[in-house]
Structure 1
Amino acid sequence: MPTLRELTDDLIRQEQTLRKGGGEEGQQRQLRHGRLPVRARLELLLDKDRPFFELGLWAADGMYREWGGVPAAGIVTGIGFVADRACLIAANDATVKAGAMFPQSVKKLLRAQKIAAQFRLPLIYLVDSAGVFLPLQDEIFPDEDDFGRIFRNNAVLSAAGIPQYAAVMGNCVAGGGYLPVLCDKMLMTDGSQLCLAGPALVKAAIGQVVDPEELGGASMHAAISGTVDFHEPDDPSCLKRLRALVDLLPPNVPPATLDNATSDSPAPDHHVYDVVSADGRDEYDVRDLLRCLVDEHTLQEYKAEFGQTLVTTFAKIAGHPIGIIANQKRRCRTASGEIQVGGVIYPDAADKAARFVMDCNQTKLPLLFIQDVQGFMVGKQAEQAGIIRAGAKLVNVVSNSVVPKFTVIVGGSFGAGHYAMCGKAYDPALILAWPSAKYAVMGGNQAAETLLSLQLRDAQRAGRTLREDEVAELRQSIQKRYQEQTDIRFGAARGWVDAIIPPADTRLWLQTALALLPASTNREFKTGVLQV
């Protein structure tokens, strides 16, 4: 079994391949059209002395194989800095299926818009897309989380005062044409196309033969339709203009705040690799992990002797106060002498965590959830102690929290434990995962045995008795399939996490996110009816 560091190094190598998009041939095609590949565009747009926090790099990984694959879902998204302003970038990669939008491309862009809204970050769209991928239009077109939601979000973001800039730097046809026009400022380069229907479709629909430039070129939109605000000759000029326009915005984060990534950190970042095992089987004290993430001497543990399988603590990260709920991965002994298994949520731990979440909402402290959870405790004793009631209370307060929430999955993330610890469905501002993370409704061995028993029952009902070697082969097949599905790359491909990050970068991601948070809202914290 590789170590966590080896797992991380392997993941980084795989990500280098993903960043190549459609490969060398696709990039050369862009250059022949007088356009830069998407990563070259980002190099000119982003500040060179700031990190780019890429989101959704693993989107669509292993999916759409019948169409040749869609690396990173054909769109690059992330938080970067433009003229010292933090911005959310969404840039089509035209080397991947001409930038066509697949179902996961839409999901990725919608998530980027949601993150921009939560952090109130200016949005910059670099548009170079052939529009909806027509063979899959039935999975993209009409629903509330489909393609049309992008344009609805454009309008809502604008109404909320969140700046949006769109630069059409290639194709922008059909319904996709609404995205740039719904933005506050629109730029367009020579040689680009912006129209609801291309020349071929126009001819088929109304019999009109029209020149592409007259139909939707940059000169036409700048001088005749009046749609374009800034007409630029090429990509470098367009990106330079974008930087100048963003530079007109008020600063959205004090520069010094983001330069404090390692100050007051008690341990070198690489120490996290010594705490958590890659396979998740070893016990560890989660406090050792927290000391690698938070400022030195700032941990103030809440109810430290009660509900010990969840550690609840106040702390600071780069000077930003935060409340942390983390799964404890070593066995604990209660005051009554009961041994509690690490990574399992017991009734006392759920009760403690629920009260802690309410307390953080009372004092407007952001919440950080560190997940390495097998689920809630089961069995007669747990049921009689009210595990469902206690778990429901924790789910309730997490659901109704009004403070920003962040989630980092370092190991297992299974079953209702994933929900209670602020899984994707519970609106974390960011949900990050380590390469060691595993994601499923239950652990692999339990799931394999459950599925196996069901298939054996079906075989018996059909009058068949499986031989021992057939049972062993079936068990192995189920385990293999389940292991593939619990791999965090499987979840990341489907948008269940925002990014898989090197463990040593966790503090940098968190301190940056905390620095970018807008002022706390005045929303009132309410829970409705709680079972107590």
Structure 2
Amino acid sequence: MTVMRSTLNPSTTDFARNSEAMVAKLVELDAEHAKVLESGGEKSVARHRSRGKLLARERIEMLLDQDSPFLELSPLAAWGSKFHVGASVVTGIGVVAGVECVIVANEPTVKGGTSNVWTSRKIFRANDIARENRLPMISLVESGGADLPTQSDIFIPGGRMFRDLTRLSAAGTPTIAVVFGNSTAGGAYIPGMSDHVVMIKEQSQVFLAGPPLVKMATGEVADDESLGGADMHARTSGLADYYAVDEKDAIRIGRRIVARLNWHKAGPQPAPNPLPPRFAEDELLGIVPSDLKVPFDPREVIARLVDDSDFDEFKALYGTSLVTGWAQLHGYPIGILANARGVLFSQEAQKATQFIQLANRSNTPLLFLHNTTGYMVGKEYEQAGIIKHGAMMINAVANSTVPHLSVLMGNSFGAGHYGMCGRAFDPRFVFSWPSARSSVMGAQQLAGVLSIVSRAAAQATGREFDEDADAMMRAAVEAQIEAEALPAFLSGRIYDDGIIDPRDTRTVLGLALSAIATSIFKGAESFGTFRM
């Protein structure tokens, strides 16, 4: 065993300052999550309950096995947009009848559960997770369809929702639709393309066109029940496979469907009885400095995440700005790459490339812990080959076929974000801490570059350079980049799967690794050409 040692001192002023800053960010985050939990507001919720209906999260809670966790995904989708934070849908991973499933539940109290562009993107992300990890998909349907005033943003890309369902089914991954209310127009294809469909007596309605549109299009007069009610679909059209008497009965049937799937994990099993870390998870609050320009040792984070704080470091004396090594987390083997001092040099890139190749050779998932300002720039480093070495690392990340998980702890800037497996490189899961920042470069650096370009342009054309205007421009750009680098902004655009409390990181990663182990995975046998 290689049990890690910790030099972290929770009694120091720096630790207290860092912890206070992190807690303040968590309080702000709680306020944003509270907006999501309000659903459509007091009046909408009361109206929904007056109809004898459950809220989306209540339906999920009843569907899940008792006392089992629910890993909610993208809870802040649409944050900062004109749409309700949460994007009128709840998505996540939970255990149903002993089987880990992806669950998508429309939130009917938010504009009738209508879908906007962020709703679609959030569901697309849930579909990707179901496909990549071979997780059964359960749709809890009650939606008024597309948000018509913004249909131009939804209609064309929205067809992917139906494509995803059919591809899941074709791959042998079960899809289940439990219809709690309206499933109209394009939404009718959610049950129409699912393997198993549950509908509720005098409550579920599935039709391509409702009575008003049918009358307008054909002149035919029809009521909701005869056109698309549960009774009709159970007795006449055959769309309904199961006929429930109420919502609780529908959830019971949904659980029985999952229980009868004969679904088993195909991936590796974790080691039994994993030991917790030897250091307190609460100490994760005080590790990341409140000023991200100050470096921190990611080994202190690793020691509070991995089983028994047991970590075998790889190339410890080479490329020391990147920590790499092997561990287990909740019994699952993992390889870890963690930024130590922000900047990635040629040695770090080469070290990462070799480590990624070894992980693929041993079929070991990789965990990337981000705190990087990118690859080093400057004449000395360009001449030493930083471009080809950085490209080598990015090549390895892009072509690695073992599962990747990413956690943005601090900075994640420029091509360093790519080399550490940012969203564009398809990690199975990516989460952020409230302290995270991500953009093409730091705000001051970006504003400074624009200033230098403007100054050079003025000089080239013989114009007098306006220092006051330049100062105003720099201040405005810095403020913009700082705002756009915030984790809530990025999470709102579904660039991560959620902002998590650092103290929950081990649990969240354990749930993610367990979901990943539902599918078989194998390391890459070849990579792109490495420029040596």
Q: TM-score, normalised by structure 1?
A: 0.91
In the alignment, is residue 520 of structure 1 matched against residue 520 of structure 2? yes
Tell me how many residue pairs correspond in the alignment. Answer: 510
Q: What SS does structure 1 have at the residue aligned with 2:307?
A: coil
Q: Aligned equivalents of 2:461 and 2:244: distance in 1?
A: 70
Instruction: Please show how residues 4-403 of structure 1 align to structure 2 within 5 Å.
Output: 4-63=22-81, 65=82, 69-142=83-156, 146-189=157-200, 190-250=202-262, 252=264, 263-328=275-340, 342-403=341-402
1:354 deviates by 0.4
Question: More displaced, 344-353 or 231-240?
Answer: 231-240
Tell me the equivalent position of 1:494.
493
CA distance in 1 between partners of 2:485 and 2:286 (Å): 23
Give the distance between the partners of 1:427 and 1:230, measured in 2 at CA: 37
Aligned-partner residue type, residue 220 of structure 1: M
- The alpha carbon displacement at 1:471 in A equals 3.4
Q: Which runs of 5 or more structure 2 residues have no equivalent in the other structure?
A: 1-16
- CA deviations 1:98-156 (Å, max 9, x no partner) are 111111111110110111112211111001111122222222222xxx21111111111
Kept after mapping to 1: 8 A contact 2:360/2:523: no
* Offset of residue 429 of structure 1: 0.5
1:504 equivalent in alignment to 2:503: yes
Deviates more, 1:277-286 or 1:433-442: 277-286
Call closer, same or farther: CA 1:43–1:358 in 2, change over 3 Å.
same
Q: Secondary structure at the match of 2:159?
A: helix
Structure 1 pair 258/32, CA: closer, same or farther in 2 (3 Å)? Answer: farther
Question: Residues 445-524 of structure 1: matches in 2 within 5 Å?
Answer: 445-454=444-453, 468-516=467-515, 517-522=517-522, 524=524
Conserved in 2, the CA contact under 8 Å of 1:71 and 1:96? no
Quote the Cα distance in structure 1 between the aligned partners of 2:67 and 2:272: 14
> One-letter code of the match for 2:304?
C
Counterpart CA distance in 2 for 1:291 and 1:527 is 32
The one-letter code of the counterpart of 1:300 is D
Cα distance, 1:246 vs. partner? Answer: 1.7
Contact 2:102 2:137 in 1 (8 A): yes
Q: CA deviation at 1:261?
A: 9.6
Letter in 1 for 2:348: A
Deviation string 1:206-248 (CA, Å, 9 cap, x unpaired) is 2222111111111111111111011112211111211222222
Assess, with a 3 A threshold, how the Cα gap between structure 1 residues 436 and 121 changes in structure 2: closer, same or farther: same
Shift of 1:487: 0.5
One-letter code aligned to 1:199: P
Question: Given the superposition, is the C-alpha separation of residues 158 and 310 from structure 1 closer, same or farther in structure 2, using an over 3 Å criterion?
Answer: same
| RMSD of aligned residue pairs (Cα, Å) | 2.3
Cα distance in 2, alignment partners of residues 220 and 302 from structure 1: 64
Amino acid at match of 2:35: T
Distance 1:460 1:222, change over 3 A: farther
Given the superposition, is the C-alpha separation of residues 454 and 132 from structure 1 closer, same or farther in structure 2, using an over 3 Å criterion?
A: farther
Give the secondary structure class of the aligned counterpart of 1:307.
coil
Q: Secondary structure at the match of 2:509?
A: helix
Shift in alpha-carbon separation, 1:59–1:298, aligned structure 2, 3 A: same
Q: Is the 8 A contact 2:133 2:519 kept in 1?
A: no
**Residue 258 of structure 1: how far off its partner (Å):** 9.3
Deviations 1:233-268 (A, max 9, x none): 2211111211222222346469xx899898331212
> 1:293 corresponds to which letter in structure 2?
L
Residues 6, 127 of structure 1: alpha-carbon distance in 2 compared, 3 angstrom cutoff: same
Provide the TM-score with structure 2 as the length reference.
Answer: 0.91
Q: SS in structure 1 opposite 2:304?
A: helix
1:164–1:185 CA contact under 8 A, matched in 2: yes
Change in CA separation of 1:61 and 1:297 when aligned onto 2, cut-off 3 Å: closer
Q: Distance in 1 between matches of 2:459 and 2:415?
A: 32
